[in-house]
Structure 1
Amino acid sequence: MPAQEKGPQPGRADDGPWVTVIGESLVDIIHDPRRGTATPEAHPGGSPLNVAVGCSRLDLRTKLVTHFAEDPYGQMIADHLHSNGVDAIAGGSFPTSTAVASLDTTGAADYTFAISWDLKGASVPALAAVEGSLHVHTGSIASVLPPGNKSVRRLIEAARPHATVSFDPNCRPAISRDAAGARDQTEDFVAASDIVKASDEDLRWLYPGRTPDESMAAWLKLGPALVALTRGADGPVIITRRGRVELPGEAVPVADTVGAGDSFMAALISGLAQLDALGAPARERLQDITPGELQALAAYANRAAAITCSRPGANPPTSAELGSLTGSSAFRTGRPW
């Protein structure tokens, strides 16, 4: 399909720098036995799409470089992005991807995929997007699945002179069955990034022979300024060269965990934007985040994930729900909520 780009959305402030997210869009088909129905629900999803929506809801001007087709599922994705104020640059030549999510009794999701990934026809607007952005985020299936993964890597290299870069591997063993190959690809993206986030499940699969703390420290040595780990109900850990913060998970009634890590990532980006720590000229600022700022940042992203867990599906919070990082008690006192 030809590249498609949506213009600015009504009601959104259209000044200030852009955040660009690169990666897959898909439709989640959710089977939840707790709801007492055999009919699955279909929702737009994909980790990068969820991060883009999360960033936009937190008042960041956001573009998503992605793939979806001109088919019913693709229209569902296009409508979702438009309604959330995300400008879409869509390329590719395959049908819209799907993921079947089967939830267990705790709300945790297990996925099977029918997915393809490429950016055919979108290279020119995608390059313009990353070169005009304050920050660029990527990860998940888009960083490992050919042929699109090579395009993503080139876009990250083009972005670095202009923008800070974040990466979330969001590993999918059902897609990347070669753990050693996925590990090599992941470390290549880690080394090209300023901010990296992973889950404890990601690190256990990538590095079964070492602890998450050892893996985080090894990633920090590859070059990022900040490495974040999410651990579900056990809460997040964030490390920099200046310090480490660990918080417990927030106690909330869990509807499901779909999209919680993506909401954490979006809030991490938003929080760093509020600290003026995004953009290539701010790399030194990013390196110098204080322990108190790091504590507040972890609490802010932790809260975003908790809000998402409290309601069904990948439904990240708005800025009205989450508040601002600098206005929070955690920022003022250096203590979590």
Structure 2
Amino acid sequence: MPREIPPPIRERRSFVSQRFVAVLGECVADTFADPAGARPGELALRVLPGGGPANTAVALARLGTPTRFLGRISDDAFGGLFRAHLGSAGVDLGAVVAAPEPSTLAIATVDDLGQARYAFHADRAADWQWSGAELAALPLADASCLHTGSLALVREPGGALVEHLVERARAGLTVSIDPNVRPQLVDPAVYRARLDRWCELADILRLSSDDLELLLPGVPPERACDGWHAAGARLVVITLGGAGALVSLDGERVRVPAPEVAVVDTVGAGDSFTAGLLHRLAHLGRLGGRLGGLSLAEAAAACRFAAEVAALTCSVPGPNPPWAEQLGTPRQGQGS
């Protein structure tokens, strides 16, 4: 039976490593209806910078982890919004490719429980048009971890090229993958067909209970974890919304609870969880290889911290993750 893990000790006052976490993937313009801003006969939209990988990069940087974003950002008006948002969090944009194609647009509808559903406008968008030369030029030598997933691994023509990059790069760093299944854009069967291969490449697989149901309908989380471990992933984390998260390290499992929070919406919560997990693992010095030395207690403590980060994201509108100071967590270079 899964057992509860006590609250983690607060983080130490310095980072073990100065190496970057590299986040590769898309930026998405998340648009929401804004009734207050509309005149008669109009629909006003509020645009927020989003996209799973971009949200994760912002959350990591706000927590104080050195973060580099690897993406193709359009030169349109949305692209300027993305750059400003990532840059203001402290994300390194030096490797971003300036792209002539348009940005990806998502029209979001939020239900009474704060759950968002999206309609995407993504055909021929900048995010998916990677070339082999662009990916080969990305700086990864000083990275401890490469995080990717979401649409970057499944939208063509770039998806197969990104997967090959992960395969080449994993010798020198930890690989983290979040499938973040988007059935509105890509048939879940495409994810399902590639998932075992991603588990061969990934040290960390983080996904939601919604992802699990789309990938393996009706399969219990514990059984799914066993299959993904057998395929190669060492640490599998399934987030369960208000029920917390299931943490499975090499088949040894615990559940961690979710903090109580007044939910405004859940936009970006999973991305913030991933950022909190990677931040904590970086702090422990566990990134940079195959998670050598990581214990189940450390993984559970990292996930409990990640749940705090996600809860704070849920307490405000949109993908707006917390800063380190909101969690009592020192930013890099502070303290001793």
Mapping for residues 1-337 of structure 1, pairs under 5 Å: 16-31=18-33, 39-88=44-93, 89-115=96-122, 116=125, 117-120=127-130, 123-124=133-134, 127-177=137-187, 179-241=188-250, 243-280=252-289, 283=290, 286-324=291-329
What's the secondary structure of 1:42's corresponding residue?
strand
Q: Using a 3 Å threshold, how does the CA distance of structure 1 residues 97 and 128 change in structure 2: closer, same or farther?
A: closer
What's the secondary structure of 1:239's corresponding residue?
strand
Q: Which amino acid aligns with 1:130?
A: L
Shift of 1:287: 4.6
Cα distance in structure 2, aligned partners of 1:71 and 1:45:
15
Q: Which moved more, 1:193-202 or 1:110-119?
A: 110-119
What's the secondary structure of 1:166's corresponding residue?
strand
Cα distance in structure 1, aligned partners of 2:34 and 2:313:
17
Structure 2 counterpart of 1:333: none
Deviations 1:313-336, CA, capped at 9 Å, x for gaps? 1111122122349xxxxxxxxxxx
Shift of 1:99: 0.7
What's the secondary structure of 1:100's corresponding residue?
strand
Q: Could you tell me whether the CA contact under 8 Å between 1:236 and 1:249 is conserved in 2?
A: yes
What TM-score comes out, normalization by structure 1 length?
Answer: 0.85
Cα distance in structure 1, aligned partners of 2:251 and 2:217:
27
Cα distance in structure 2, aligned partners of 1:69 and 1:100:
18
Q: Using a 3 Å threshold, how does the CA distance of structure 1 residues 273 and 312 change in structure 2: closer, same or farther?
A: same
What's the secondary structure of 2:217's corresponding residue?
coil
Cα distance in structure 2, aligned partners of 1:84 and 1:137:
18
Shift of 1:254: 0.6
Q: How many residues align?
A: 306
Shift of 1:244: 1.4
Shift of 1:295: 2.6
Deviations 1:47-90, CA, capped at 9 Å, x for gaps? 00000111111111111111221111111111111111112312
Cα RMSD of the aligned pairs, angstroms, is: 2.2
Cα distance in structure 2, aligned partners of 1:172 and 1:20:
22
Deviations 1:234-264, CA, capped at 9 Å, x for gaps? 1111110263121222111111000000000
Shift of 1:156: 0.6
Q: Which amino acid aligns with 1:228?
A: V
Q: Which has the higher contact order (CA 8 A, sep 6+)?
A: 2
Q: Could you tell me whether the CA contact under 8 Å between 1:227 and 1:239 is conserved in 2?
A: yes
Q: Which moved more, 1:79-88 or 1:160-169?
A: 79-88
What TM-score comes out, normalization by structure 2 length?
Answer: 0.85
Q: Which runs of 4+ in 1 moved over 6 A?
A: none
Deviations 1:253-290, CA, capped at 9 Å, x for gaps? 1110000000000010001011110002xx2xx25322
Cα distance in structure 1, aligned partners of 2:81 and 2:165:
26
Cα distance in structure 1, aligned partners of 2:75 and 2:153:
23
Q: Which amino acid aligns with 2:21?
A: V
Structure 1: runs of 5 or more not aligned: 1-12, 326-337
Shift of 1:151: 2.1
Structure 2: runs of 5 or more not aligned: 1-14, 331-336
Cα distance in structure 1, aligned partners of 2:300 and 2:175:
21
Q: Which moved more, 1:137-146 or 1:93-102?
A: 93-102
What's the secondary structure of 1:298's corresponding residue?
helix
Q: Could you tell me whether the CA contact under 8 Å between 1:68 and 1:97 is conserved in 2?
A: no
What's the secondary structure of 2:259's corresponding residue?
coil
